[in-house]
Amino acid sequence: MHIPDGFLSANTWVPAWIISAGGLGFCLKKVGTVLKDKTVPLMGVVSAFVFAAQMLNFPVIGGTSGHLLGGVLAAVLLGPYAGAISIAVILTIQCIIFQDGGLTALGANIFNMSFIGTIGGFYAYKIIKSIVAGNTGILVSAAIAAWLSVVAASSGCAIELSLSGTSPLRVALPAMAGIHALIGIGESIITCMVVSFVLKVRPDLVYNE
Amino acid sequence: MHHPYIDKYAELDSPIHRIDPRVKIICAILIILGIIFTEPTSAVSFICYGIFLSILVILSRIPVSFILARSSVVIPFVIMIAIFIPFVKEGKVAGAYSFGTLKLTVTYNGLVILLNVLVKSYLSVLCMTVFTASLKFSVLLKAFERLKFPNLLIMIFSFMYRYIFVVIDELMHVKQAKDSRTVGGGRLSHTKTLANVLGVLFVRSYERAESVYIAMRSRGFNGTINTLYDFRLRVADIAFVVIVLGFVAIARFSSAI
């Protein structure tokens, strides 16, 4: 889902950059008021964790393997704003160091994965959690939100590509959402299991407003 | 453990490596913007950029195999777009294929879109690889700081960079322990083990972050990091900016011919 340079037209990537830069500024301010001088070490080390977690491949049905996107996982453990920052930091590193995603498309990539995937995913998690109570509620809502976040982020990607005239929406949207509905199952299972582990070992580390 | 992920070729010495990091960042952005805003049909401009970037690659002494491997990241996206090409209906038809009842037409319009994104994304990746592979990440961050990027974000980046190796080391240790105790990895039943590995990693990372913070705090850290100013703009750097600007202008102008 890392859009390279050249796939988006200026009328898409320029607004996406502006929204993402502004949104990131807002998140930093929000996190700064809670963590104060703890922001830097905590966000740095935890971003390194999400980066490492994305390197670990897990088996998907049919002999293929996928890796974690980690948006909802980060949001459930760190809260929406800190989660969004760590995902944005990772996307930027992947863009600059690994050329995974383009420089002009970085704004759109951050918008899809940090804002739609992580913050959007967090609110999906929060809504479902308010319906199902207790630890089961946390696990069920983390699983559903993880699946939703992957599908929503990929739909965002398809919409941006169609706005740029790169691919028609009526084909791109079902195709992207369809593929990611399958990928999302793995994301959902692994997110649920990691959250369940943390709930057992350090329940205080699961984000609670 | 060995970490080949970052800064693999940053220690080489070449004319490209010696350019001021700030100049490199600005030039990379200039070239990418130049590539992005080129008309899809102006092949001459793309060839110009191709030649220019190839010269930079050769000058930088970074192995071509590395650059080729890096640029392969655009392939999945190109394939994805290629799949949609038959569905772009407008424009002159270049060829029609029928599979049983399903009839697909390929239009010139669709092919232009494919070629456009393929060339632009490839050239941009080439540009980014040359400039960032020749730069140490810590220096890159310092350059961003000098270019007045938000300080808080830069500090998060430098911390992440510092701890990426520590966290990955820890992950590799846990993974090795897991692999030596399980046979036939990659099965679905191992998912729970992997999830627990990630869970352990998270708890350990968080606890590490807390102790790092306490250690920093006890040494007088107050939320800002001060570094020495050690970049100096040389004549060669200014010359490089002029060359890049000239080249973007030539590439732009050549499309008008």
On whether both B207 and B235 belong to a single domain, the answer is no
Which one of B198, B203, B204, B212 would you mutate to disrupt binding with A, by most A Cβ within 10 Å of its Cβ? B198
Beta carbons within 10 angstroms of residue A46's beta carbon: 28
Distance CA B119, CA B40 (A): 9
Distance CA A20, CA A8 (A): 15
Q: Is the pLDDT of residue B105 over 70?
A: no
Per-residue pLDDT band for B100 (boundaries 50, 70, 90) equals low
The ipTM (two decimal places) reads 0.82
* Model pLDDT, residue B225: 63
On whether both B129 and B60 belong to a single domain, the answer is yes
On whether both B91 and B53 belong to a single domain, the answer is yes
Number of domains in chain B: 2
Domain-located, residue B1: no
Distance CA A134, CA B7 (A): 46
* Model pLDDT, residue A22: 94
Residue whose tokens read 């000098």: B146
Under 8 Å between Cβ of B97 and B8: no
The pLDDT of B110-115, averaged and rounded, is: 78
Q: Is the pLDDT of residue A62 over 60?
A: no
According to DSSP, the residues that pair with A123 across neighbouring strands are none
DSSP for A50-115, written as a single string = HHHHHH-EEE-TTS-EEE---HHHHHHHH-HHHHHHHHHHHHHHHHHHH--S-STTHHHHHIIIII
On whether both B59 and B113 belong to a single domain, the answer is yes
The pLDDT of B212-232, averaged and rounded, is: 75
Domain-located, residue B59: yes
Question: Of the given ranges (A46-60, A68-82, A130-144, B233-247), which has the lowest mean pLDDT?
Answer: A46-60
Closest CA in chain A for residue B122: A5
Which one of B8, B112, B117 would you mutate to disrupt binding with A, by most A Cβ within 10 Å of its Cβ? B117
Per-residue pLDDT band for B255 (boundaries 50, 70, 90) equals low
Domain-located, residue B29: yes
On whether both B178 and B60 belong to a single domain, the answer is no
On whether both B111 and B208 belong to a single domain, the answer is no
Per-residue pLDDT band for B168 (boundaries 50, 70, 90) equals confident
Residue B139 one-letter amino acid: V
Domain-located, residue B116: yes
On whether both B36 and B131 belong to a single domain, the answer is yes
A-contacting residues of B 23-82, CB under 8 Å? 28-29, 32-33, 35-37, 70-71, 73-74, 77, 80-81
Q: Is the pLDDT of residue B182 over 80?
A: no
* Model pLDDT, residue A3: 85
Sign of CA dihedral B168, B173, B176, B181: negative
On whether both B75 and B190 belong to a single domain, the answer is no
Q: Is the pLDDT of residue A194 over 70?
A: yes
* Model pLDDT, residue A164: 85
Instruction: Report the mean per-residue pLDDT for chain A.
Output: 86
Closest CA in chain A for residue B215: A41
Within B54-199, strands assigned E span 93-99, 102-107
Domain-located, residue B6: no
Which one of A96, A139, A195 would you mutate to disrupt binding with B, by most B Cβ within 10 Å of its Cβ? A96
Which domain, by its residues, includes B82?
Answer: 15-135+231-254
Is B97 an interface residue toward A (CB < 8 Å)? Answer: no
Domain-located, residue B180: yes
Distance CA B57, CA B143 (A): 21
pLDDT > 90: what percent of chain B?
Answer: 1
On whether both B28 and B91 belong to a single domain, the answer is yes
Instruction: Report the mean per-residue pLDDT for chain B.
Output: 79
On whether both B90 and B122 belong to a single domain, the answer is yes
B-contacting residues of A 7-46, CB under 8 Å? 7, 10, 24-25, 28, 32, 36-46
Please write the tens of the pLDDT for every residue from A66-107.
Answer: 678 888 988 988 889 989 999 999 999 888 888 888 889 999
On whether both B28 and B74 belong to a single domain, the answer is yes
Q: Report CB contact under 8 Å: A5, B212.
A: no
Domain-located, residue B202: yes
- Select the residue of B36, B159, B200 nearest A41 (Cβ to Cβ): B159
Please write the tens of the pLDDT for every residue from A117-173.
Answer: 999 999 999 999 999 888 888 999 999 999 999 999 999 988 998 888 777 788 788
Please write the tens of the pLDDT for every residue from B68-91.
Answer: 887 777 777 777 777 776 666 565
At residue A33, the 3 state secondary structure works out as helix
Domain-located, residue B48: yes
Question: Of the given ranges (A104-108, B38-42, B110-114), which has the lowest mean pLDDT?
Answer: B110-114
On whether both B126 and B174 belong to a single domain, the answer is no
Question: Of the given ranges (B21-30, B102-111, B169-178), which has the lowest mean pLDDT?
Answer: B102-111
Q: Report CB contact under 8 Å: B87, A168.
A: yes
Task: Measure CA A14 to chain center.
Answer: 21
Question: Could you give the domains of chain A?
Answer: 10-204 (1.10.1760.20)
DSSP for B19-79, written as a single string = S-HHHHHHHHHHHHHHHHTS-TT-HHHHHHHHHHHHHHHHHHT--HHHHHHHHGGGHHHHH
Q: Is the pLDDT of residue B257 over 70?
A: no
